[in-house]
């Protein structure tokens, strides 16, 4: 952080640096940290905050406010459905208002009225600036149609023009709302105007009710107003500004003076958040500072969209993975949890072997799905008590090939593209005696060698239909017997380390060279 004025060249260089750093960051928390520290330095400010818009709760949240340790700043934007329409910059059509998370029932309780259906449209000036919103309530037919939306649009545009031209007197507005109300066929119409001077969204006329102009308004604060209006704000002395919300300052003992607040917008023009810089060290924030922050905000908004989309994809992928694991578990209650336990062992082994995060993730996914082919194995074989006969065993062995067949049909993103081959090779043996392909040591993917050990260890140390669980030591003894023929020695050693067990003596390890036929029949059924 430097108090000296930053030259244009330096500023440009720092903007490029920010672009470089944020464009590769997909973690929201880290992204926020980078953005805030860079902006603070770039503008010579005291602190900066990154608010993200949460559409579920209709809040602007700053979970990572720099200089406000360990607390989240929350700016609620409870402007109801019309506010949501403004933020989304689109018409919102709701057939059951009380079922909508965005509905604000304050009007109803004030007027002793019940809103059922609702149609809300944002009003924009010719420069794209938010002017307010138009709301129609309770359609005669029970809900508003797409035709009604089309009818509403030109009326909303005309009302926006009235506001923009400063010609929005009560008579003109009343006539405008009455016209659209009659044409659409509904109970009530209300025009809201965003008063930028006060930061309030005011209902200036409600047609069809006796209340006329209503005093209900929502105070947004500087950050909220920036998000709603979608316009940057530069403030010299925050405490002198009626829009400023002093509650955070009062709670923290900090004194906000100068402010710069810029909206973060996605490609659709929706506000996805706000970035603000507070207290310029020398003088006030300049027009140049504003232009710089706006340029940075454009980059940051894209990075945030990417990070949010990435997190969303990860969640979707994980939920799909969980459903797939659960569907194998549902086949057989006693082996339920096997896939997950195998993945825990496999990841622990991978960690011991120095795998990085991406590699551990690939291993985890392959482990969770390794037995997915059991979905195609008959219950009579899968749940059989006692030994399998030759035909049953042959049928059972098909699950590895089935895992491969099914998993190769799933489109995995690039980092997971080897999931199918790793998962399907979990019964291959180093000496080529395994299945489904009889691969040898050099051909078996290394991660599959980890799965093999993790799979056998998990199966032996868990209860099965055909036998009781073994102790970890007994299980390791069986696995040791297959070292070098069925199992990879390094993997076994890593398993021991992951369990906190001492390494096996070298002499004993060599003795384990012999063929692991003892583990044959039953152990192969994990
Ligand atoms: Fe298996």
Q: What whole-number percentage of the chain has pLDDT above 90?
A: 41
Number of H helices, E strands in the chain: 19, 12
Distance between Cα 357 and ligand 1 center (Å) = 25
pLDDT value of residue 431: 96
Q: Report the C-alpha gap between 371 and 290 in whole angstroms.
A: 57
Q: Which residues contact 313 (CB under 8 A, 6 or more apart)?
A: none
Q: Which of 132, 147, 142 is nearest to 184 (CA)?
A: 147
Distance between Cα 464 and ligand 1 center (Å) = 14
Angle at 224 between CA 221 and CA 228, to 5 degrees: 130
3-class SS at 253?
coil
Q: Report the C-alpha gap between 450 and 423 in whole angstroms.
A: 10
3-class SS at 285?
coil
In the listed set 308, 342, 366, which residue is the last one of a domain according to the structure?
308
Structure tokens at 1: 């952080």
Distance between Cα 257 and ligand 1 center (Å) = 65
Alpha-helical regions (H) of 335-389:
338-352, 357-369, 379-382
Distance between Cα 371 and ligand 1 center (Å) = 5
- Read off the pLDDT band of 117 (50, 70, 90): very high
CB 207 within 8 A of CB 164: no
For residue 436, what is the domain's CATH number?
A: 1.10.3210.10
Q: Report the C-alpha gap between 441 and 428 in whole angstroms.
A: 9
Same domain, 180 and 282: no
pLDDT value of residue 522: 40
Distance between Cα 418 and ligand 1 center (Å) = 17
> How large is the average pLDDT for residues 411-437?
95
- Read off the pLDDT band of 285 (50, 70, 90): very high
Same domain, 108 and 187: yes
Same domain, 89 and 57: no
| Tens-digit pLDDT profile for residues 460-485 | 998 776 678 899 999 999 999 999 99
The answer to the question of residue 318 being in a domain is: no
pLDDT value of residue 405: 95
Question: How far is CA 206 from each of CA 82, 142, 209, 216, rounded to the nearest angstrom?
Answer: 13, 20, 6, 11
Distance between Cα 426 and ligand 1 center (Å) = 6
The answer to the question of residue 43 being in a domain is: yes
* Residue showing tokens 């059989």: 384
Question: How far is CA 485 from each of CA 162, 421, 433, 503, 511, rounded to the nearest angstrom?
Answer: 84, 20, 9, 19, 12
Q: Report the C-alpha gap between 223 and 218 in whole angstroms.
A: 13
Distance between Cα 400 and ligand 1 center (Å) = 6
CB 321 within 8 A of CB 467: no
Q: Which of 271, 214, 301, 387 is nearest to 28 (CA)?
A: 301
Chain centre distance of CA 87: 20
Same domain, 446 and 353: yes
Report the b/e string of 176-201 with b at 16+ CB within 10 A. Answer: bbeebbeebebbbbbbbbbebeebbb
Distance between Cα 79 and ligand 1 center (Å) = 55
Distance between Cα 167 and ligand 1 center (Å) = 76
Does the pTM surpass 0.75? The reply is: no
For residue 14, what is the domain's CATH number?
A: 3.30.450.40
CB-count burial class (<10 Å; 0-12, 13-18, 19+) for 283: exposed
Q: What whole-number percentage of the chain has pLDDT above 70?
A: 90
Distance between Cα 455 and ligand 1 center (Å) = 7
Distance between Cα 215 and ligand 1 center (Å) = 69
3-class SS at 126?
coil
Q: Which of 408, 316, 403, 412 is nearest to 367 (CA)?
A: 403
The answer to the question of residue 375 being in a domain is: yes
In the listed set 163, 196, 219, which residue is the last one of a domain according to the structure?
219
The answer to the question of residue 322 being in a domain is: no
**Residue 123 predicted with pLDDT over 50:** yes
The answer to the question of residue 324 being in a domain is: no
pLDDT value of residue 239: 93
Distance between Cα 423 and ligand 1 center (Å) = 9
The region of weakest confidence among 85-94, 191-200, 436-445 is: 191-200
- For the range 4-12, what are the long-range contacts, defined as Cβ-Cβ under 8 Å and sequence gap of 24 or more? 4/44, 5/44, 5/282, 6/42, 6/44, 11/42, 11/288, 11/292
Structure tokens at 314: 């990860």
Same domain, 268 and 145: no
- Read off the pLDDT band of 82 (50, 70, 90): confident
Q: How far apart are the first and last CA of the chain?
A: 59
Distance between Cα 502 and ligand 1 center (Å) = 28
The answer to the question of residue 261 being in a domain is: yes
Mapped to the 3 state alphabet, what secondary structure does 181-205 carry? Answer: HHHHCEEEEEEEEEECCCCEEEEEE
Distance between Cα 487 and ligand 1 center (Å) = 15
pLDDT value of residue 526: 56
Query: What is the pLDDT of the chain when averaged over all its residues?
Result: 85
Q: Which of 313, 303, 315, 314 is nearest to 25 (CA)?
A: 303
Structure tokens at 525: 């059924």
Same domain, 354 and 420: yes
What total of structural domains would you count in the chain? 3
pLDDT value of residue 521: 40
Mapped to the 3 state alphabet, what secondary structure does 445-492 carry? Answer: CHHHHHHHHHHHHHHHCCCECCECCCCHHHHHHHHHHCECCCECHHHH
> How large is the average pLDDT for residues 126-141?
88
Question: How far is CA 219 from each of CA 199, 201, 216, 249, rounded to the nearest angstrom?
Answer: 6, 7, 10, 17
Structure tokens at 437: 């392909």
**Residue 128 predicted with pLDDT over 70:** yes
Angle at 517 between CA 512 and CA 523, to 5 degrees: 100
Distance between Cα 514 and ligand 1 center (Å) = 23
Distance between Cα 526 and ligand 1 center (Å) = 6
Q: How many CB atoms lie within 10 A of CB 452?
A: 27
Q: Report the C-alpha gap between 420 and 416 in whole angstroms.
A: 9
Same domain, 377 and 510: yes
Same domain, 144 and 207: yes
Instruction: Supply φ then ψ for residue 90, to 5 degrees.
Output: -150, 165
Distance between Cα 404 and ligand 1 center (Å) = 12
CB 149 within 8 A of CB 93: yes
In the listed set 176, 200, 219, which residue is the last one of a domain according to the structure?
219
Select the highest-mean-pLDDT range: 75-89, 222-236, 511-525: 222-236
**Residue 505 predicted with pLDDT over 90:** no
Distance between Cα 398 and ligand 1 center (Å) = 9
Q: Which of 51, 22, 19, 423 is nearest to 245 (CA)?
A: 51
Same domain, 21 and 111: no
Q: Which residues surround ligand 1, an ion (CB under 5 A)?
A: 371
Range of the domain at 23: 8-73+225-308
The answer to the question of residue 491 being in a domain is: yes
| Tens-digit pLDDT profile for residues 343-385 | 999 999 999 999 999 999 999 999 999 999 999 999 999 888 8
Same domain, 454 and 336: yes
Select the highest-mean-pLDDT range: 113-127, 325-339, 421-435, 510-524: 421-435
Question: How far is CA 64 from each of CA 61, 71, 443, rounded to the nearest angstrom?
Answer: 9, 8, 48
The answer to the question of residue 162 being in a domain is: yes
Q: Report the C-alpha gap between 88 and 83 in whole angstroms.
A: 9
Distance between Cα 397 and ligand 1 center (Å) = 8
Same domain, 354 and 483: yes
Q: Report the C-alpha gap between 192 and 432 in whole angstroms.
A: 75
Same domain, 111 and 256: no
């Amino acid at each position: 952080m430097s108090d000296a004025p930053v030259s244009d060249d330096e500023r440009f260089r720092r903007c490029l640096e920010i672009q470089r750093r944020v464009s590769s960051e997909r973690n929201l928390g880290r992204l926020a940290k980078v953005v805030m520290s860079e902006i603070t330095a770039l503008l010579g400010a005291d602190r900066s905050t990154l608010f993200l818009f949460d559409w579920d709760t209709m809040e602007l949240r700053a979970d990572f406010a720099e200089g406000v340790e360990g607390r989240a700043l929350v700016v609620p934007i409870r402007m109801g459905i019309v506010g949501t329409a403004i933020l989304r910059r689109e018409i919102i059509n709701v057939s059951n208002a009380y079922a909508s998370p965005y509905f604000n029932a304050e009007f109803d309780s004030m007027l002793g009225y019940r809103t059922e259906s609702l149609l809300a449209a944002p009003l924009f000036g010719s420069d794209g600036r938010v002017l307010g919103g138009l709301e129609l309530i309770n359609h005669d037919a029970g809900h508003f149609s797409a035709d009604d939306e089309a009818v509403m649009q030109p009326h909303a545009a005309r009302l926006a023009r009235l506001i923009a031209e400063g010609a929005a007197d009560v008579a003109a507005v009343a006539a405008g709302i009455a016209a659209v109300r009659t044409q659409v066929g509904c109970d009530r119409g209300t025009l809201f105007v965003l008063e930028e001077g006060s930061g309030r969204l005011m209902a200036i006329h409600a047609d069809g009710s006796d209340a006329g102009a209503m005093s209900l308004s929502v105070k947004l604060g500087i950050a909220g107003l920036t998000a709603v209006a979608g316009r940057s704000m530069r403030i010299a002395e925050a405490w002198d500004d009626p829009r400023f919300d002093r509650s955070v300052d009062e709670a923290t003992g900090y004194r906000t003076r100068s402010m710069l607040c810029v909206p973060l917008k996605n490609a659709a023009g929706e506000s996805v958040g706000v970035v603000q810089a507070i207290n310029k060290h020398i003088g006030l924030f300049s027009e140049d500072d504003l232009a710089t922050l706006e340029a940075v905000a454009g980059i940051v908004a894209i990075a945030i969209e990417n990070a949010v989309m990435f997190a969303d994809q990860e969640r979707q992928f994980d939920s799909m993975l969980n459903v797939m694991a659960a569907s194998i578990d549902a086949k057989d209650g006693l082996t339920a949890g096997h896939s997950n336990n195998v993945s825990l062992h496999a990841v622990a082994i991978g960690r011991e072997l120095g795998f990085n995060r991406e590699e551990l993730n690939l291993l985890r996914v392959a482990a969770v799905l390794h037995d997915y082919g059991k979905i195609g194995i008959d219950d009579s074989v899968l749940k059989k008590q006692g030994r399998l006969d030759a035909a049953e065993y042959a049928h059972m062995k098909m699950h590895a090939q089935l895992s491969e067949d099914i998993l190769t049909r799933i489109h995995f993103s690039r980092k997971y593209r080897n999931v199918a081959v790793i998962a399907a090779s979990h019964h291959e043996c180093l000496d080529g005696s395994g299945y489904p392909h009889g691969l040898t040591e050099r051909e078996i993917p290394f991660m599959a060698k980890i799965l093999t050990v993790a799979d056998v260890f998990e199966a032996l140390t868990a209860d099965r239909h055909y036998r009781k669980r073994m102790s970890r030591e007994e299980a390791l003894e069986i696995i040791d017997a297959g070292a070098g023929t069925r199992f990879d020695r390094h993997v076994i050693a890593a398993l021991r380390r992951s369990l906190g067990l001492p390494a096996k003596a070298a002499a004993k390890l060599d003795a384990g060279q012999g063929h692991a036929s003892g583990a044959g029949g039953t152990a192969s059924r994990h």
